[in-house]
Chain A
């Protein structure tokens, strides 16, 4: 396979602040590539360089076989882009705004705008300045997908949109891949990357700290579990959890009346031992949370350091 995007030793400095420290990234054509990392890791800077909105201080970058600067407008017609901070203003209706953008993007098939708006539940008759954050983001997705570009560059595309629309968005990404389009997707939400991406790179402080197929990274192997159980005793649950491997931060409390037991624990690796331990009683409530990304990136950083 050829690379849709290739960067080598990419540096970007803003005065004294360095946003990218020699970023090396390869995105294969026809794949969905996830870029994750905490805020300030350099995700947005990287994506904006691909669109030639900003220029790298040094290093090389190739997008669809051309440098963004030399490829210019013709190259950008083959890219769909959702900016990280999409703002829209003006009295024009959503449909008009999209038609204006269609004039400066690649050719948009007839009906594509309406079809995408329908799927995402975007009302095209409302003025853009009156759209909520979620609806603005939908408009951003429509304008990125409408010309079926060879490459989609999506910066935090699903921020502010509700879970049902997010599911539709993930379907759009899958369809794009099936049609041979390449998708580069940045997010600070792990689950989104896991559901959508084939490969992933983790950015921290302007560097790639880990990359590979999503499955190989096991980046969500740390989970926080909270449960409420009845019909057992705190001692039994505690004993079971303490005996299990990879379970930390165990906290067990009985309610005042004594029949409900609240359990919280962090599982590294398998969550099965935790579930088995609390299943000694009757589970009334159970939540399994992903840790925040900062935590997992640091975790991953530590693991890759250990491995090397």
Chain B
């Protein structure tokens, strides 16, 4: 018997990946608009920030505070862009976006029953996980391209004086940083099948990374803590000023790959929850 083999429509590869991208285009546009809003709100203020008044204001602040929020070099275009966008609000945006997607593709899909229906069809567990991970990566890369182009467009008007290659370097670090938290959410979502655990783990990784480097910035004795911080891996060598930090990028992207592999292996081995 019986399965009809004739007249089947042409099959495109990577159905799970395409489905996630198709379903998520509204969200992707929303996050892109958020990034645009931040870029257009903050970067044009730079020329007015280069004033002696700001320098004296920063000098009057507690140095611990200035170091914690990364404002040491705020009077240069690269330092300002790093402190306002990549190190702060941009970091928050890409982290939340990545965690949301990483959790939705694993624990969220499982809780909603979508994973059961998908896996009851002709999709293997590992292909499901890997295609979902690539969808996650592609969406974050789109945010990276959006941020890169917008900041590049503001470079002249806002007198930032950024080097285009260094901007690529920091954007790669920024996307890698978002991906690392997203991959943590992805792995825990795959391990537990629970969206809230996935979100909590991704957020925990992001917050811990930020706090560790902030503490290390303020204490010589605790300087070693920065080794454990994804935030430090991304920005410790000031890529927007100094260019690519390949060791940091390797930690972020390699670490993300390991987390995703753990997620895929976990999903392949366990029962899918109802």
Interface residues of A (CB under 8 A from B): 29-30, 44, 48, 51-55, 72-74, 76-79, 81, 83-90, 92, 100-101, 103-110, 143, 147-150, 179-181
Contact present for B15 and A103 (CB under 8 Å): yes
Contact present for B3 and A103 (CB under 8 Å): no
Report chain A residues within 8 Å CB of B19. 100
Contact present for B122 and A150 (CB under 8 Å): no
Partner pick for B272 among A54, A73, A92, CB 8 A cutoff: A54
Report chain A residues within 8 Å CB of B274. 44, 48, 84-85
Contact present for B112 and A76 (CB under 8 Å): no
Q: Which residue of B lies closest to A107 (CB)?
A: B8
Partner pick for B113 among A81, A86, A105, CB 8 A cutoff: A86
Report chain B residues within 8 Å CB of A148. 2-4
Report chain A residues within 8 Å CB of B41. none
Known contacts A104-B15, A181-B2; is A77 also within 8 Å of B122 by CB?
Answer: yes
Report chain B residues within 8 Å CB of A77. 3, 121-122
Query: Residue among B112, B116, B119 with the most chain A CB within 10 A?
Result: B116
A-B residue pairs, 8 tightest by C-beta: A107-B8, A77-B122, A180-B1, A54-B271, A87-B113, A104-B121, A103-B15, A81-B120
Contact present for A89 and B112 (CB under 8 Å): yes
Contact present for B121 and A150 (CB under 8 Å): no
Q: A179 vs B4: C-alpha distance in the bound complex, in angstroms?
A: 11
Contact present for A53 and B120 (CB under 8 Å): yes
Known contacts A89-B112, A107-B3, A107-B5; is A83 also within 8 Å of B122 by CB?
Answer: no
Interface size class, chain B: 20 to 34
Interface residues of B (CB under 8 A from A): 1-9, 11-12, 15-16, 19, 22-23, 112-114, 116-124, 127, 271-272, 274
Contact present for B123 and A83 (CB under 8 Å): no
B168 to chain A, nearest CB (A): 35
| SS of B interface (majority) | loop
Report chain A residues within 8 Å CB of B3. 77-78, 106-107, 147-150
Contact present for A150 and B4 (CB under 8 Å): no
Contact present for B121 and A101 (CB under 8 Å): yes
Partner pick for A73 among B7, B12, B112, B123, CB 8 A cutoff: B123
Q: A268 vs B76: C-alpha distance in the bound complex, in angstroms?
A: 92
Known contacts A54-B272, A90-B23, A108-B8; is A85 also within 8 Å of B113 by CB?
Answer: yes
Contact present for B271 and A53 (CB under 8 Å): yes
Report chain B residues within 8 Å CB of A100. 15, 19, 22
Known contacts A106-B3, A150-B1, A150-B3; is A73 also within 8 Å of B122 by CB?
Answer: yes
Report chain B residues within 8 Å CB of A79. 120
Q: A107 vs B121: C-alpha distance in the bound complex, in angstroms?
A: 11
Report chain A residues within 8 Å CB of B7. 107, 109-110
Q: A107 vs B268: C-alpha distance in the bound complex, in angstroms?
A: 25
A47 to chain B, nearest CB (A): 10
Report chain B residues within 8 Å CB of A143. 117
